A and B are shown apart, each in its own frame.
Chain A
């Protein structure tokens, strides 16, 4: 990031920038040529018009002529523009052909547009990262942030991870998108190219001298379209090689328990938030009232940081236990992020080490043997009343946040359980749905114990206004759970 800060702001320009590539110079020349053609035609036409307006007015006693056609003149002013256009088309065609020639490139970078960030894959050396708006701009851009954009270096044109490329190499970019249309534009390169989901596009550049070049997304892609800039840093080959080496080494290090700066925690937390939290709490942290609490202004998030960390690690109600899914540094990042973004400005942070200590000893890898151990010990059958009583507590802590206390649900997102076709229908189907989840409904097969699971199934069928009058024993559930694939989180690919 520090690389991008030589000047606080770009210089102000009136005309198209010339850019730093041959292509951008060609485009600039075309632009100037056609501009001057327009200026000259404009002077002639407007000149004649204003001459006429000045001299051929009634107040000056000018008598109106009555001519209304002149074939010669009309032919002349059809032919001359045609010739000018042909003259323009020749250099334009040449430039277009040159831009189109992506063959013989020295390296390829895949660029993927996301709402609202860019993903870069170096196809030749495996380097891969996301690049989003830098934290300083992101803070300042919020309504009522109280931060003067002029005090932010490269406001809205700075990113957390710039794209780094070598100079004097023909670099081919391959564009695609993961959600909606985007368009990748660095004016200094002389072109922009759309990124379309499902399809690829190509373009290329060749940069002579090192430098930092900034651009933005130019295809409307939703609310934060204005906030996904592009920063490209061109380095001479040795510097670039050093960058590659450093970046690869960093990537190979596992989860780091080293302390990270506040800004780093926040900016990395944003990606983790959007990957893990935004489906329920929404990308802007506003949540879904009645179902998923808002992050912005939340008492939990603004309260004690350790209590928040505890909740995220161990889950509560509909909130899954993320201690099993995320690593210590990722948890620290996302916690710090929620406290300092999405409308919150608590200003504090938590370090990976602190989170590591709070994590349950049986995290990730240890989780599997635990399930196996439970499998060995058979569970005892329970009476219907026992099941109902236990089911009530299990329901309260796992289901009410979505399906509500009386089972009335929160349509259309969360169906009512009272009178539900699933709950009053085939018990095996209900069990299957609850084990594996469906749509927004999480799978509870791994998170509930067999007894709890059986109890809550029985409870829903015989309470909350339902009276199917059947039950399921924990032993049945235990068997089904044993058949389920293990819940591991081998996310790396």
Chain B
């Protein structure tokens, strides 16, 4: 297809959907099919849910501040841990990365929009509906689900009125994610600018492509699992009920067949953003681009065959335990390659340390710590001790908060000037970084000690020998929570004009070498790349 034809077609397309610019007023945001608008909606929604889920975390940390029950009843505490996880996973982290994908994937591959704009709008509003429905369960008779985000039967079947609503909301969230994933795959496969071959795509696009495949592979399995819960409860099936020939352990297998890839759904785009940011601030091409792609693909593949390491204690035959132990240990290899590559990218660079780079470096270090504890847990006999203790809580928060969340922050600082055309306040940004990094470690590092010393997870109260570290952890939590208000302030401030400094197209020094988005004006016009770009950055290849 020649460039001229493409240009003509794109204009034709514009006349069909949206004429020159956005609709006026609120309606714009409701009916928009523009990838930038939808990206913005996703990002704001994720930010809002980050604060909602964060508030629940504050309730948890407040209750755990001291031994004894002070504020909430155990049942409500369990609802808080369950809802905190569901809101953070499905409401904050996943939509955060979908928002980034919406904004950046078309701009990075030189496409005018997402491949399926109407479906894009629908998947966003379905996400909102799903989360709203989930939130209403908090006010239902019997309370919100309190059986943990894993929704293990038989316990989850003891949920009150909320159960069918929670399950239906999981369906909505699942459909929303699947539609988003299909859209991203179609965009990457069909909308790339001429010359943008797969192996020239920025790593963020690569990681999202692989993530999208994970999503369409496992979200339906999760939807099936919760549907089985629903029919077990209301329609007399016995998938998980031993009384009718079922087995509750089967649910755990199905759940973790979804759950382990789900973990990578949250971390692979993180890798992608880090691999995008670090080279810019090291002023060096990414080290080992193709090995990064292969490592991401192998991690994704391995994620399908290691699920039962989440359930070493459930009573598996020895052969199963050995297999899942070995397979899990293997994940350390591609993950190690990634960390080494990031380090090698920094090596002999000419680094500067603006806020996005600071968050990315913190990510590499703290994610590696989370990776180490993950490696420790892969050793099945040791996991018999770690399993379901605060050691696990510390582990997965290290790979989610100072990893996924930090990278979402880094992405915010990195691309906000591009999105808004305004520079954020670097001083407050760095203050936000230091407060977050120090407090997140005060918050989660002591939880390693607690877990090793024997504190189980998901308990509202604990033996007094755990008191000191819990108090320290809570203090870290409160500082971390409060620090995030700075981020909210910076985002609003930047949208309103920030420092007033006029940002250039490429914002960061020589950024145009690293991605097509930096060849566009800041802020980019409502429609970009209606004519495909002709020069593809190839520095990293």
Contact = CB atoms under 8 A, between A and B. Distances in A.
B471 to A, nearest CB: 13
A14 B449 contact: yes
Interface residues of A, number: 98
B289 A68 contact: yes
A140 B68 contact: yes
Interface in B123-175: 146-148, 152, 154-155, 158
A154 B387 CA distance: 23
A220 B152 contact: yes
A143 B325 contact: no
Contacts of B361: 49, 53
B254 interface: no
A45 interface: yes
B302 interface: no
B248 A224 contact: no
Interface in A62-114: 62-70, 73-74, 77-78, 81-82, 85, 88-89, 92-93, 95-97, 99-100
Interface in B326-384: 326, 329-330, 332-333, 336-337, 339-340, 343-344, 346-353, 361, 364-365, 368-369, 372, 375-376, 379-382, 384
Contacts of A336: none
Contacts of A192: 313, 384-385, 387-388
Interface in A205-225: 215-225
A10 B465 contact: yes
Interface in A147-166: 147-150, 154-157
A89 B329 contact: yes
Contacts of A74: 288, 291, 337, 340
Interface string B277-296: 00000111111111100000
B456 interface: yes
A157 B143 CA distance: 28
Contacts of A316: none
A407 to B, nearest CB: 25
Contact of B385 (A16, A148, A154, A157): A16
A243 interface: no
A264 to B, nearest CB: 23
A56 B349 contact: yes
Nearest to A93: B322
Contact of A62 (B333, B350, B376): B350
Contacts of A38: 372, 375-376
Contact of A155 (B70, B336, B384, B463): B463
Nearest to B311: A194
B460 interface: yes
A85 B321 CA distance: 16
Contacts of A197: 154, 242, 248
Contact of A226 (B147, B158, B333, B460): B460
B392 to A, nearest CB: 10
B158 to A, nearest CB: 7
Interface string B375-409: 11001111011011100000000000000000000
A154 B369 CA distance: 33
A403 interface: no
Contact of A48 (B322, B347, B380): B347
Contact of A157 (B152, B351, B463): B463
Interface stretch (B23-31, B72-80, B473-481): B72-80
A57 B284 contact: no
16 contacts: A13-B453, A14-B452, A31-B385, A34-B375, A52-B343, A56-B350, A57-B350, A65-B348, A81-B332, A96-B325, A180-B155, A192-B313, A192-B387, A196-B248, A196-B314, A197-B248
Given A49-B346, A147-B68, A199-B249, 5 more contacts: A14-B452, A16-B452, A53-B353, A192-B388, A226-B456
Interface of A: 9-17, 23, 26-27, 30-31, 34-35, 38, 41-42, 45-46, 48-49, 52-53, 56-59, 62-70, 73-74, 77-78, 81-82, 85, 88-89, 92-93, 95-97, 99-100, 140-143, 145, 147-150, 154-157, 175, 179-181, 183, 185, 187, 190-194, 196-199, 201-202, 215-227
